[in-house]
Amino acid sequence: MTHNIPKPAPASRLRVGLSVALATLCGCAVALQSRINGQLGSDLGDGFVAALISFGSGLIVISLVLLVSRPGRRGVTTVIDAIRRREIPWWHTAGGVAGGLFVLSQGLVVGLLGIALFTVAAVAGQTISGMVIDSRGIGTVAPKAITVTRIVGATLALISVVIAVLPQISDQANVWVIIFPFGVGLLLGWQQAVNGQIKSLAGSATTATFFNFVGGTIVLAVFAAINLLLAGLPHGFPSNPVLYLGGIIGVLFIAGFAAVIPIIGVLLQSLAAVSGQLLMALVLDFVAPTNTAGVAVLTIAGTVLTLIAVVIASIRSRTAIRVRRTER
């Protein structure tokens, strides 16, 4: 049995353009959150606790929003009823687990792999999963055609990211660790897809964001508890209030992503988000650099190419690769 969700009308070019712009802004917020969470984890000396603080504070914020949002509360009831009637699987509400693992992987893997290879691996996984999910659909979210322009845009985006981070890649990087961020990248595409599914079902991005933060906070609380038992408490909490804004920023971009997924699909959302991440990373390197090496020309070129890739992927094309969707 499938929950009866009205099928949206084909989006106009203006609506698609605005959705891509919103996804790009949300990608900028992801990069900003990564910088904040990375600094918090460094100051705490504990990536597990830093990730839990980010997601836990986000859960508090979105819970307060839910209290004053009647559509959000109604959406929660709708989703729970649909799960009880087995109209949707319960795991459609667990997208936040992927987000939690991504935040955690930043603190655990970047130090071993380097931010450059970490970014390439995560983007590759996210792009591949976005293309697969778009071609087949998920739940009641209909598949979107994988057109020539989307394939060209995705391929150019991957090449652009490699170009952008090439100056940062170290010869001493532990390449075997690349499996972790690549796997997390695959899960990020799934996360955005199920969050979009919940948003469509509930009719509220607030509802989708709430379930996202519940799932992520639970899994991170388990990891943090185990780490505290093994390693003890962090050596101290930083006094800079900016370092505790990661959760609020996360609420904003998770809600934004959930809102645009039903309109532009997972692949285009992923590409727009990646371009936003690179763009904000470039801005941060100019205004608040973490090293004295400056910004490489290749990094600027790769960022510009990624923006071009998003434009190409946004172009409507009548030439599509048809993929038969397996009915469950």
Q: What is the pLDDT of residues 83-125, one digit of tens each?
A: 999 988 999 999 999 989 988 887 677 666 666 667 777 877 8
pLDDT at position 215 over 50: yes
The DSSP bridge partners found for residue 320 are 147
Residue with the two structure tokens 């071993």: 112
In a domain, 10, yes or no: no
Give the chain's mean pLDDT: 81
In a domain, 296, yes or no: yes
Q: What does the alpha-carbon distance between residue 316 and residue 149 come to, in Å, rounded to a whole number? A: 7
How many domains does the structure of the chain reveal? Answer: 1
- Predicted local distance difference test score (pLDDT) of residue 141: 62
Give the residue-averaged pLDDT of 291-311: 73
pLDDT tier for residue 25 given thresholds of 50, 70 and 90:
very high
In a domain, 220, yes or no: yes
3-state SS, residue 141: strand
In a domain, 140, yes or no: yes
In a domain, 166, yes or no: yes
pLDDT at position 326 over 50: no
C-alpha dist (Å) from residue 220 to 96, 144, 179, 184, 278: 10, 33, 20, 14, 26
* Between residues 309 and 15, the one the model is more confident about: 15
Give the residue-averaged pLDDT of 292-313: 74
In a domain, 2, yes or no: no
Q: Residues 6 or more apart from 262 whose CB is under 8 A from it?
A: 8, 141, 196, 199, 200
Tell me, rounded to whole angstroms, the distance of Cα 287 from its chain centroid. 24
Kindly report the pTM of this predicted structure: 0.79
Give the residue-averaged pLDDT of 47-59: 92
Q: What does the alpha-carbon distance between residue 317 and residue 320 come to, in Å, rounded to a whole number? A: 7
Range of the domain at 175: 23-316
> Which CB contacts under 8 angstroms, 24+ apart, belong to 177-181?
177/109, 177/112, 177/113, 178/113, 178/117, 178/118, 178/121, 179/121, 180/105, 180/108, 180/109, 180/121, 181/105, 181/109, 181/113, 181/118, 181/121, 181/122, 181/125
The DSSP bridge partners found for residue 73 are none
pLDDT tier for residue 327 given thresholds of 50, 70 and 90:
very low
